[in-house]
Amino acid sequence: MAYGWNKKVLKVNLTIGNISTKSISEEVLKNYLGGRGINIKALYDTTNKNTDPLGPDSPLIFGTGSLTGTIVPSSGRHNITARSPLTGILGDSNSGGFWGAELKQAGYDQIIITGKAERPVYLKIINEKVEICNAEHLWGKNVWETEKLIKEELEDNDVQIASIGQAGENLVKISGIMNNLSRAAGRTGMGAVMGSKKLKAVVVRGNKGIGVYDLKRFSESVEEMIKNIYSSPYYEARSSYGTTMLVELNNRLGNLPFRNSQGSYYKDAEKISGELLYDKHVTKLKACFSCPVHCSRYYKVKSGPFAGTQGEGPEYETLVSFGSRCDNNNLESILYINNLCNQYGLDTISTGGVISFAMECYEKGLIKKENANDLDLSWGNYQSIIDLVEKISIHEQIAQIGKEIPQKLLQNLGSILAEGVKKATQYIPNSGHYALEIKGLEVAAQGVRGIKAMGLGWAVSSRGADHLRAFPIAESLWSEKDAEEIFGTKDAANRFAYKGKAKLVKWTEEFSAITDCLEMCKIVAMPLKLSMSSFAEITSALTGIKFSEQDLFTIGERIVNLERIYNLKMGLTYKEDRIPDRYRLEPVPEGNSKGETLDLDKMLPEYYQLRGWNEKGIPSRNKLDELGLSKNILE
Ligand code: SF4
């Protein structure tokens, strides 16, 4: 009997229509745990620098965690991994909801999909029965229509569906894979990889259960964890407002991006706040699989021009991406745009990022109305944001970089932005300074000049600029005493200080890698301060394999290092561990981070040293030996 894991991978080749299973060894599971860990292992083993992310050989990998589908709080998540068509390095994205738990219950830890179907298809998995089904009637439909049609077709309302909208079909590089209508594996363009395979959806139904090695010990440790969650001082706010509580909080700290991060303070933050959303439009709270925090929310707009708009969310990142980043204080328009992105299957962070970039280019005279689909891209013009979201989704492939005729190419502004902000600078002369990206991925919604560890976390993140790889919120939330104990200096809890931040980022990167392998939600694990020792206890009781707290940190370190080597193998250099000039050179103009810039040089060398990487960011032979990765040594 398998405990915790199913020890089984489902392999599908869409070119030849082949479906098979293979076992996944206990050694791999012990070393990589699940989810993000087993996915990078599979990606590393099956791709190289010549792998075209949108070609048939490019694997699209869905991974569940060692705890996915169990009663452990917030453990219903999954990771989706491929070489990113947006960045060319690691593509990896994590989603909540119910899909991951269903796949685990169907008997699989991972699905690896290669090839390209001749015509649109969807994959149907009902326990052992796996079929490739015709999806020609679904191609061109949005995510919500697709879910509805598949459920009707299968006469099963409880089937779980991960699908792409038109954005993924049209190979938009900032498209994601959606499940449960509004949960997104949004980052790094995984939707385009799925679209390139002509795969519309992966549909799952499972009822096989998951074996538990020591039920008594497992139940007791889960109960203890639930008790800790309910008694956290942050529980109430998290469970009412979710991540949207951060809008006003970050604004008070002077960390809320305003007008493409020209500023970090928004005078109208109250108008797009989580508290206002809750009071005006939230109808019901919503939980992902096995989650007592239920941080998500259903909303319905009852009056005004957006009356009738109803959906789930939005998260903090979405409110800010289409709110303060675009100087748009119309909350209802953001709810409408949130729905549009969920229906088309777009990453809201990157989409808001490319649109605020376009708005700044318009402000600076680099884009004119007549060259931009006739859109008035003035700050706050939410109708233009709506139009642009639609134009991005209906991506007409751009044939060549328009060196000679950039203004003519700008007629297809939606298509240009669909390629991501880094590529967009090739079509819009002199726009590089306004393109806020790292390693090709659009930055998330933090004002990193006033939170130094977050800035370092963005710069070294293995999937490009992102807040969740490290998620170093200790610098704003933890006490000086805790910071001193864990990171060796109380300065680690001072958001303006540089001291202690390298150690903090290393620690949180490894902690976050583990939550992504167990597939527990970071929103629960990090802010509610769940401990690595509790994860070790639960995982040991579930699987029957003894894991200590240190074992898990070592697994986290192994994953961070393997992702690093993967990226180096794909052509990344240490020069890409950087921060956009805006954060480096332009001091914050107003608010409680006024005058701050971000100097990476004060943290990066120490970070490399703590990681056991040389001055060019390459892991040393000793470090790789220590982590059992020696065969991956890069000279
Ligand atoms: S905390 Fe929120 S996002 Fe995370 S698993 Fe629970 S309901 Fe889902």
% helix, strand, coil for the chain, step of 5: 45, 15, 40
Place of tokens 């800790």: 228
Which stretches of 364-451 are DSSP H helices?
A: 382-393, 406-409, 413-418, 421-424
Calculate the CA 480 to chain-centre distance.
30
Atom of ligand 1 nearest to the CA of 74: 5
Tell me, what's the pLDDT at 380? 98
Q: Distance, CA 287 to ligand 1 centroid (Å)?
A: 6
Residue to mutate, 524, 526, 530, ligand 1, most ligand atoms under 8 Å from C-beta: 524
DSSP state string for 502-538: HHHHHHHHHHHHHHHHHT--HHHHTTTT--HHHHHHH
C-alpha–C-alpha distance, residues 338 and 319, integer Å: 8
Which stretches of 281-347 are DSSP H helices?
A: 316-322, 331-344
For residue 175, give the DSSP letter.
Answer: B
**Confidence (pTM):** 0.97
Q: Distance, CA 81 to ligand 1 centroid (Å)?
A: 21
C-alpha–C-alpha distance, residues 450 and 252, integer Å: 11
Taking residue 396's Cβ as centre, other Cβ atoms within 10 Å add up to 11
Instruction: List ligand 1's pocket residues with C-beta within 6 A.
Output: 74, 96, 242, 287-288, 291, 293-296, 521, 523-524
Phi, psi of 176 (to 5 degrees): -120, 180
Atom of ligand 1 nearest to the CA of 292: 6
Q: Distance, CA 51 to ligand 1 centroid (Å)?
A: 34
Residue to mutate, 523, 526, 528, 530, ligand 1, most ligand atoms under 8 Å from C-beta: 523
Give, using CA atoms, the residue closest to atom 5 of ligand 1.
74
Q: Distance, CA 74 to ligand 1 centroid (Å)?
A: 6
Q: Distance, CA 632 to ligand 1 centroid (Å)?
A: 35
Tell me, what's the pLDDT at 371? 77
Tell me, what's the pLDDT at 404? 47
Return the half-sphere exposure (C-beta side, CA atoms, 13 A cut-off) of residue 558: 26
Q: Which residues contact 390 (CB under 8 A, 6 or more apart)?
A: 340, 344, 414
Atom of ligand 1 nearest to the CA of 289: 5
| Pick from 429, 329, 336, 350: nearest CA to 392 | 350
C-alpha–C-alpha distance, residues 42 and 110, integer Å: 10
Give, using CA atoms, the residue closest to atom 2 of ligand 1.
295
Tell me, what's the pLDDT at 374? 87
Q: Distance, CA 460 to ligand 1 centroid (Å)?
A: 26
Q: Distance, CA 207 to ligand 1 centroid (Å)?
A: 23
**In contact, 448 and 579? CB cutoff 8 Å:** yes
3-state SS, residue 551: helix
The parts of the chain modelled with pLDDT lower than 70 are 1, 397-411, 632-635
Tell me, what's the pLDDT at 633? 63
pLDDT digits (tens, 9 = 90+) for 501-555: 999 999 999 999 999 999 999 989 988 889 999 999 999 999 999 999 999 999 9
Give, using CA atoms, the residue closest to atom 8 of ligand 1.
288
For residue 69, give the DSSP letter.
Answer: T
Calculate the CA 542 to chain-centre distance.
27
Residue to mutate, 521, 526, 528, ligand 1, most ligand atoms under 8 Å from C-beta: 521
**In contact, 348 and 186? CB cutoff 8 Å:** yes
Per DSSP, which regions of 412-520 are E strands?
A: 437-438, 441-442
In single-letter form, the type of residue at position 438 comes to I
Instruction: Look up residue 394 and give its two tokens.
Output: 């209906």
Residue to mutate, 94, 183, 229, 288, ligand 1, most ligand atoms under 8 Å from C-beta: 288
Per DSSP, which regions of 154-195 are E strands?
A: 160-163, 177-179, 183-185
Instruction: Look up residue 246 and give its two tokens.
Output: 């951060």
374, exposed or middle or buried, with CB in 10 Å at 0-12, 13-18, 19+?
Answer: exposed
Q: Distance, CA 132 to ligand 1 centroid (Å)?
A: 31
